[in-house]
Amino acid sequence: MPVHPTNPPARDAARDRALLPAALPAFCTARVILITLAMGAALSLLLTLVPGVGPERWARFGTTLWLVTWIALVTVALLCAARRWLDRLPLPTLLTIIVVLLLTVTAVTSAVAFGALQSIGWQPQETAGEFLLHNLAIALLVGLIGIWVFSLHLGNARQINAAAEARLSALHARIRPHFLFNSLNTVAELVHDRPEAAEQAVLDLSRVFRAALASDSTSTLAEEVELARRYLDIEHWRLGERLHVDWQLPEPLPTISLPILTLQPLVENAVRHSVERQAGPGPIRVECRVGSRSIGLVIENDLVTGDDHHGNGMALANIRDRLALMFGEAASLRAGPVDGRFRVKLVLPRTDGEATP
C-alpha cells in the first residue's frame, strides 16, 4: 500500500476522525459506566481524606459521592446520546465540547444539590457561589486529566492503526503471488478447451485483485460477499466438485460497512486448510445471522487431521485489529474447532439504522 508523505497534518486529522467512532460509542457500554462510577467513588474518597475535614468525614463522603455520581452519569448519558454528532467533529472541537459539557453539568448539578441539601438541614460552610466555583475547579481538573488520558489512548490507537496498515500490506503481498500463480495455472488449463470459461476466470481474477489493491479502508457487506464469491468462482475452476459452498445469506443483505478484505481472507483460509487438503468434497458454509443489534458472519469448514495450525494467524490478527479500530469493543472475531469443524465467527454492530427492538 503506497504511503504519500505530503500534507501530514491533514492525514493525522483524518486518521483521528477515523479512530474516534471506535472510542466515543464506548461511553454507552456497561463496562465504561462501571469504570466511571468506580472513578467517581475514588475521587469522592480522595476529597474526603484531605486534612481539615473533621468528624463529619464520612457524611461528607456520602454527600460528595452522591454529587459526583450524578455529574458522571449525566455527562456520560449526554455523550452517549450525542455520539453520532460528536463523531463528525474535529478532535480539538470535540475535546472542547466535552470539557464545556462537563462544566455545565457540574454547574447545574451543584446548584440543584446546594438547594436540596440546605432543604434537609445541611449547614454549608461556604456560600453558594463558593460551592459552585469549588466544584467547577475540581471538574476542570478532572476534565484536563481525562483529555490527557484520551490523548494517550489516541496515540496507542494510531500505533495499532499503523500496525494494521502494515499487516494489510503484508496481506496484499501474500494474496498476490499465492493466489495469482494458482489462478494463472487455472486459466492456462481452460484456454484451449473452454475459452469462455477462461475469459470469465480472468474477469473474476481482475475484480479480486482490484479489491485487494484498493486504497480504500472500508467496504460494504454486499461488496465483501461479492468479492468472496468471485474468489470462490476462480477456485472452483481449479478444484472442481471438491469445492462446495453453502451460502446462508438473508435477502437483502444488511447495509453495513466493514474493513475491506474481511471476508475473502477467511474464505481463502477455509479453502487452503480444508478443501485443498482433502481428496473428497470439502463443504464450506458461509452464513449471515442478522440480530436486533448485531450481525454475525460464520465461516465453517471441515477439520483436517494433522492440521495443528489451522488458518492464517496473520490474516486473523489483521482482521481483529481493523475491526477494533472501526468498531471498538462492539465487534469481535473468534476462531476454533466447534463440533468437529473449524468455525470463524465475526460479530459486527448494526449501523444500518434498521435494528429491531
Amino acid 271: pLDDT: 87
What is each CA distance from 350 to 80, 136, 291, 296, in whole angstroms?
A: 16, 38, 8, 10
**pLDDT below 50 — which residues of the chain?**
1-23, 25, 176, 215, 308-312, 355-357
Domains along the chain?
A: 8-125 (no CATH), 193-349 (3.30.565.10)
15 CB neighbour count, 10 Å cutoff: 17
For the segment 28-81, what is each residue's pLDDT rounded down to a tens digit?
Answer: 667 777 877 788 788 777 777 766 555 566 667 777 788 888 888 888 888 888
For the segment 130-156, what is each residue's pLDDT rounded down to a tens digit?
Answer: 878 888 888 888 888 877 877 776 667
- At which residue does the C-alpha cell 468528624 appear? 55
Contacts of 110 (CB under 8 A, 6+ apart): 67, 131, 132, 135, 136
300 CB neighbour count, 10 Å cutoff: 19
Q: In whole angstroms, give the CA distance from residue 145 to residue 142.
A: 5
pTM over 0.85: no
DSSP 8-state symbol, 108: H
Q: In whole angstroms, give the CA distance from residue 122 to residue 120.
A: 6
- Could you write out the DSSP letters of every residue in 179-205? HHHHHHHHHHHHHHH-HHHHHHHHHHH
